[in-house]
Amino acid sequence: MKVAVVGATGMVGEVMLKVLEERNFPITELLLVASERSVGKKLTFKNKEYSIIGLADAVAAKPEIAIFSAGGDTSLKWAPKFAEAGTTVVDNSSAWRMDPTKKLVVPEINASELTKEDKIIANPNCSTIQMVLALSPLHAKYKMKRVVVSTYQSVSGTGVKAVKQLENEIAGIEGEMAYPYPIGRNALPHCDVFMENGYTKEEMKLAREPQKIFNDKTFSVTATAVRIPTAGGHSESVNVEFENDFDLADVRKMLHETPGVVVQDNTDTNTYPMPIYAHDKDEVFVGRIRRDETQPNTLNMWIVADNLRKGAATNTIQIAEYLVENNLV
């Protein structure tokens, strides 16, 4: 299997290489691809050194799979060129997510929709993935009507520059700012850019992507996305109203039995999900499971995951694994 990793030098790219190695993905030839300014740089994978190549050379090499994490503009320009050459692209940017001709995939939920004809496959937004994975079994049984989500998102979701800003602030060093304000000792209700409706782009991703993943527009999602000074891991307060009533013991049992979900929910021992626990793990952690006492059929949950792993790299590679296992490439 000839595999290209596009955006190999970025934050998610680095994690992708780590996850490919950990999961022992079947690679016979690896192409590490980045922008022109990185061409010729060296990276190590499984104790072997590789030179970074440019996008045109990568397309010409005709890999079976190209795993993209290089930003929306790069994806819009280059993913179709890879697809034309016969490569299946799994893209981690927002470029193709809401394109009606492209599948938006969380493997545990809807990988079965994939066919050999899907040459560009979209990976959902990091905060969407962890939310829908926890909601999936509950939606199947109780049918969601409305979801209200508030996020507490790590600076790593913004990128290297934001992580550096937080580190500089902690160390008392003046440096380049990724955000319009300090992030240390602060919370910014401003993830991605503001749109005409007053919501941010991140909030609208959370509103729209779940409907596409579940192929269901009968429920709605409203979101507030907040950046907080944690280094890795997104947290979400999720309030979900169902059509049908539920039993809390059944909810916990269903979540416990859901692949990729870990229930951490014991208030007697102060056990609940936290980014510090989720860091470097592939699972989605769910806790603080309780009934909303202000209205019927409504549940509150706290959902945490490593945004660079299940929120990005791991989900992308799980899609690629599904393609290989099902002979779709």
Residue 83 has pLDDT above 90, yes or no: yes
Do 43 and 161 belong to one domain? no
State the Cα–Cα distance between residues 165 and 155, nearest whole angstrom. Answer: 9
Q: What residues are designated binding site?
A: 9-12, 37-38, 97, 153, 156-157, 227, 307
* Spatial CB neighbours of 139, under 8 Å, sequence gap ≥ 6: 214, 216, 219
User: Among 139, 191, 234, 279, which one carries the catalytic annotation?
Assistant: 234
CB 316 within 8 A of CB 90: yes
Do 109 and 26 belong to one domain? yes
DSSP class per residue in 81-122: HHHHTTPEEEE-SSSSTT-TTSEE--HHHHGGG--TT--EEE
Q: What residues are designated binding site for phosphate?
A: 97
Residue 328 has pLDDT above 90, yes or no: yes
Per residue in 130-152, pLDDT tens? Answer: 999 999 999 999 999 999 999 99
Task: Please state the pTM of the whole predicted model.
Answer: 0.96
State what percent of residues in the chain have pLDDT above 90. Answer: 98
Tokens of 106: 């969380």
CATH of the domain at 191: 3.30.360.10
Do 276 and 154 belong to one domain? yes
Do 301 and 319 belong to one domain? no
CB 48 within 8 A of CB 69: no
Do 139 and 118 belong to one domain? no
Do 180 and 283 belong to one domain? yes
CATH of the domain at 110: 3.40.50.720
Residue 182 has a pLDDT of 97
Tokens of 196: 């005409």
User: Among 126, 139, 191, 279, which one carries the catalytic annotation?
Assistant: 126
Residue of 321, 172, 147 whose CA lies nearest to 241: 147
Do 112 and 218 belong to one domain? no
Residue 231 has a pLDDT of 86
Question: How far is the CA of 54 from the CAs of 39, 57, 79, in angstroms?
Answer: 6, 6, 14
Q: What residues are designated binding site for substrate?
A: 153, 227
Strand ranges across the sheet with 65-68: 29-33, 2-6, 65-68, 88-91, 120-122, 103-104
CB 115 within 8 A of CB 135: no
Per residue in 256-275, pLDDT tens? Answer: 999 999 999 999 999 999 99
Residue range 198-222: mean pLDDT, rounded = 98
State the Cα–Cα distance between residues 22 and 79, nearest whole angstrom. Answer: 26
Q: With bands split at pLDDT 50, 70 and 90, how would you rate the model's confidence at 124?
A: very high
Please give the residue range of the domain that contains residue 80.
Answer: 2-124+312-325
Do 175 and 49 belong to one domain? no
b/e map of 196-230 (b: 16 or more CB within 10 Å)? eeebbebbbbbbbbbbbbbeeeebebebbbbbbbb
Do 109 and 14 belong to one domain? yes
Residue range 307-322: mean pLDDT, rounded = 97
Average model confidence (pLDDT) across the chain: 97
Do 154 and 284 belong to one domain? yes
Residue 191 annotated among the catalytic residues of the structure: no
Q: What residues are designated binding site for NADP(+)?
A: 9-12, 37-38, 156-157, 307
CB 264 within 8 A of CB 277: yes
Do 225 and 147 belong to one domain? yes
Do 55 and 24 belong to one domain? yes
The tally of domains found in the chain comes to 2
Residue 234 annotated among the catalytic residues of the structure: yes
